[in-house]
Structure 1
């Protein structure tokens, strides 16, 4: 033990003395010109180092620099700028006068990916081949970077003519080996228009064939979205996939995609190209897709006994810029989307076996297929969505088969005053793709039919029986369990918020009806008149005939939350009896006049 301790002390003294001598003998500023030269030879970028370079020996042998910047050829602003930079170097290569950088660390840096920081080459200047290798240095120096670390920095991203996005708290750690196999960890957040997004990424990258090819995978990408126009609980999820990039053809491919968003889960693949025009093809499958948990304007059903909650809104700091189709990336993108969802939730509706096949050609979207099962019924809504103009133009051909009416009314934000099933076939068009826009600005026509239709809190048969009983006790009808309309059909027209029904014809047990009317979706007013004919009466033959043959007008009108109605049974019976009395009186007068005429003729013919 006595010999070990002195030996370790001697080794420590030697190491410290060696490092001290190395620091004293090797001036880090000797590497300045070489680093600038190598960066420019390998990338064409200009590296500017301000101030003297200095050693930092603990816990890692490092070179510290002052303010630095990295600028692309012809660019107005640097791509990277930082107040300081640290280069962790390998010790043994320094002994042979070589610079081997194990890690480059930037802190509080600003990274610009903007048009001002992009490379701008002079016109009519010949360019060498893209895969040309940089000339090897003649002085025997070597330059190698194994790790890049960016901490607490800012990334500014902007497309030409587009908005600027600031990614704050940007942290990146990239490590690569001699075979260009790299591992990446990244975290950042973005705040814009009172919305906040955070991202954390772990992945791997194969850059052995760069710039011709890149491949890699995202092992885990965790994200959160919160703020204005997002669900109160926010949107949280993860993403993973394997991807490849072909630099020669500007093409990419994604496989094994797994995406979660709140309680929605999707998988699939994608491929596309960044060559003009950009192209993207998506093929996705969702085991569950809850759109109501992802969209803030989803309809919510308020059950019995529930109360409306008062939600405190965040103060508006600045008005958000009005959205325009000019901002949409779909105007410059060719998109093909295929989506299958085993189960989906939209505005309170459960959609099963949802199928979507859509394409976009630079702003003109074709909904080739949008169909699925809705309860015991089905739906299909093909059409087009045109965003090439400032206002979105929508044309749809909806078809419904045996769809339950009540949940459909709830999804559209209308009173759930009808029960039954509806079938519909028609065409609608208008501006803007939303339920509110459809109720306000769309127009179109459709053929509509309904089965087992019931009006909430209104029993037509019972209403007529009670009205007849108040007028006369000479007729009656038997009570039955049937309270609605077995079948009704007609035409419906939508014109800027006014829904008009024409040629309504229907029937039920002991019931036949005809009618028409209109509903104002904006003013929440209705005015509908149904001509009701009932059979199954017994009693006075004249009254039975009057009730069976004469249509009784039922008019429903007013605000749909407080509907009023008129059912003038007494007037119908009175008018019918008066008309019948007048008819019999006229017949009696005609008979009397005929008898008088015959009597006068006999008097004239007497001798």
Structure 2
């Protein structure tokens, strides 16, 4: 045992002595210039190392450098700068006077991907799509040293990213490791977070890189990507998920392509492909599909109910609210002016504001702010909708034009989605042409106009029973007839048709006709969308539900009774002229009866007096 311990001590002394000898015999500053020239020869980038290089022997044989930067040819700012750099070297090659770097470690580095850090060589030719062979090193450079790197590590660093004149995006707390092999293949692991506009995005990524044709082209297989998004206007529990994709970049065409894209967000999953041609005016192409997409879960939207109107836990973390005039709202889609794009989206089941939409298809093309919606269609319950049109977002306000074709959509669900009272429900259909400014419900209620044919099946006018109102009013005026004893708290109309015209937030209804087994109606009126007011002038015939005097009932069945319905949607009032109409009807009946009596007794002496009375 003593002999073994003695051997180990001797071995340890030899190793320490050898490392100490290397530190004294090999000066790392001897190959400083070699590294600078080698980097420039292979990539064209300028490597700057300020201060002397020094050895660090424990726990890893390393070379420590001071402030270090890497700058592209002609760039105004370095691509990478760090306060210090550590090169972990392999011990065995040092014995043969070779520098083999196991790892380059940059801590508190700043990576700039901005216009100032880009290569700038006026008149330089475009790089070919195939790699240009690296020129052989000068004999004096290869004579003493071999420079190679196996691994690159970046710790607690910052990425500054900017395209053109766009705002800068700061990616903080970057921790990255990249291992490469002799075939220019590399494995990348990175984690970081992005904070912007009171939102925080934390992510991790694992990828396999193919750098055989770098810098002209490279490809990546992103096998694992996880993220979590939280902050202002994000659900309290946040949005999190994972993904995977194949990515490639071609320098001569400045094109990025994504294939086999799979991304989850909470319980949602999106798949498809994407490509982008970058440059001064980027062009994006997206082709996406999803079996399920719940936008309410991603945005934290909740319906307005009596229970949620009081104190409750907010679904989202709200950003500060800035009061604005609706007519002076900023153009929220102005960024579409900066690029071209096309989107093909198919969703089997979409949830938006509580609405369940099946088989959604969206095909849209953007040309620097001119947006065309060739297809925007889907199913809701047993109904369908199609909303093709176009948008212009190049001005201060969004200009919208739509040609809606809606068939048998439940109107009550749409009203609930936008927090409006369910004053009228039923199977709604519309064919029309509308246009306006803005996309919000407030914009639609004030700044849209258009016209169309409206119809409803199985319509319920909630909160008021027209048949009951008329029958009760008639019963109060005459004891000869009565109405039904049991009533519902709504008016049911089996079919309803009207011509609608929207202007300045007011929907004008003309040629309105409604029919049900007990009631027929016709008339016109207006609906004020902004103030949620209604004013309808109707002529009603109650054709069923009577009992009593058959002659009076037959008269009532053919009599139009004026009815005005007006006031707020949630609490409508009415004016009913039953007494006047009933009096006129009874008077007309009496006149007819007297006239018949006179006609039958033309030779009677009292006919002249009766006729004078009738004429009065």
* TM-score normalised by L of structure 1: 0.90
- Equivalent residue, structure 2, for 1:138: 139
Instruction: Give a deviation string over 1:405-437, Cα, whole Å, max 9, x none.
Output: 211111233211223211111122112233332
Q: 1:448 to 1:23 in 2, by over 3 A?
A: same
User: Aligned to 2:417, which of 407, 411, 419?
Assistant: 411
Contact 1:338 1:357 in 2 (8 A): yes
In 2, Cα distance between equivalents of 1:458 and 1:26: 98
User: Aligned to 1:223, which of 227, 231, 247?
Assistant: 227
**TM superposition shift of 1:160:** 1.7
**TM superposition shift of 1:390:** 3.2
In 1, Cα distance between equivalents of 2:223 and 2:330: 35
In 1, Cα distance between equivalents of 2:321 and 2:86: 39
- Equivalent residue, structure 1, for 2:59: 59
**TM superposition shift of 1:479:** 6.3
In 2, Cα distance between equivalents of 1:576 and 1:214: 90
Q: Are residues 1:570 and 2:579 paired?
A: yes
Contact 1:491 1:503 in 2 (8 A): yes
In 2, Cα distance between equivalents of 1:594 and 1:155: 114
Q: 1:524 to 1:310 in 2, by over 3 A?
A: farther
- Equivalent residue, structure 2, for 1:511: 519
Contact 2:377 2:386 in 1 (8 A): yes
Contact 1:546 1:573 in 2 (8 A): no
Q: Matches of residues 288-367 of structure 1 in structure 2 within 5 Å?
A: 288-295=292-299, 298=301, 300-302=303-305, 307=310, 309=312, 311=314, 316=320, 324=331, 328=335, 330-367=336-373
Contact 2:243 2:261 in 1 (8 A): yes
Q: 1:282 to 1:8 in 2, by over 3 A?
A: same
Instruction: Give a deviation string over 1:503-541, Cα, whole Å, max 9, x none.
Output: 110100132100222222222222122211112445446
Q: Secondary structure at the match of 2:38?
A: helix
* TM-score normalised by L of structure 2: 0.88
**TM superposition shift of 1:22:** 0.1
Alpha-carbon RMSD across the aligned residues, in angstroms, is 3.2
- Point out the more displaced range, 402-411 or 473-482: 473-482
- Equivalent residue, structure 2, for 1:373: 379
Q: Are residues 1:558 and 2:567 paired?
A: yes
**TM superposition shift of 1:301:** 4.7
Q: 1:489 to 1:372 in 2, by over 3 A?
A: same
Q: 1:152 to 1:146 in 2, by over 3 A?
A: same
Give ranges in structure 2 of 5+ residues lacking alignment.
Answer: 609-616
Q: Are residues 1:155 and 2:164 paired?
A: no
In 2, Cα distance between equivalents of 1:462 and 1:36: 95
In 1, Cα distance between equivalents of 2:507 and 2:603: 56
- Equivalent residue, structure 2, for 1:495: 503
Q: Secondary structure at the match of 1:543?
A: helix
Q: Secondary structure at the match of 1:106?
A: strand
In 2, Cα distance between equivalents of 1:566 and 1:240: 65
Contact 1:299 1:410 in 2 (8 A): no
Instruction: Give a deviation string over 1:47-72, Cα, whole Å, max 9, x none.
Output: 22111111111111111111122222
**TM superposition shift of 1:588:** 10
- Point out the more displaced range, 550-559 or 485-494: 550-559
**TM superposition shift of 1:374:** 0.4
- Equivalent residue, structure 2, for 1:604: none
Q: Are residues 1:423 and 2:429 paired?
A: yes
**TM superposition shift of 1:82:** 1.4
Q: Secondary structure at the match of 2:443?
A: helix
Q: Are residues 1:392 and 2:392 paired?
A: no
In 2, Cα distance between equivalents of 1:272 and 1:5: 65
**TM superposition shift of 1:365:** 2.0
Q: Are residues 1:244 and 2:262 paired?
A: no
In 2, Cα distance between equivalents of 1:93 and 1:509: 99
Instruction: Give a deviation string over 1:185-212, Cα, whole Å, max 9, x none.
Output: 1111122221221121111111122234
Instruction: Give a deviation string over 1:365-422, Cα, whole Å, max 9, x none.
Output: 2222221110111111111122233322211111111111211111233211223211
Q: 1:213 to 1:573 in 2, by over 3 A?
A: same
Contact 2:233 2:318 in 1 (8 A): no
Contact 1:490 1:504 in 2 (8 A): yes
Q: 1:46 to 1:219 in 2, by over 3 A?
A: same
- Equivalent residue, structure 1, for 2:445: 439
In 2, Cα distance between equivalents of 1:515 and 1:231: 47
- Equivalent residue, structure 1, for 2:38: 38
In 2, Cα distance between equivalents of 1:336 and 1:79: 33
- Point out the more displaced range, 124-133 or 282-291: 124-133
Contact 1:299 1:413 in 2 (8 A): no
Q: 1:559 to 1:229 in 2, by over 3 A?
A: same
- Point out the more displaced range, 186-195 or 332-341: 332-341
Q: 1:150 to 1:30 in 2, by over 3 A?
A: same
Contact 1:299 1:411 in 2 (8 A): no
In 1, Cα distance between equivalents of 2:528 and 2:497: 20
Instruction: Give a deviation string over 1:62-119, Cα, whole Å, max 9, x none.
Output: 1111112222223222222211111111112222222221111111111111122222
Alignment length, in residue pairs?
595
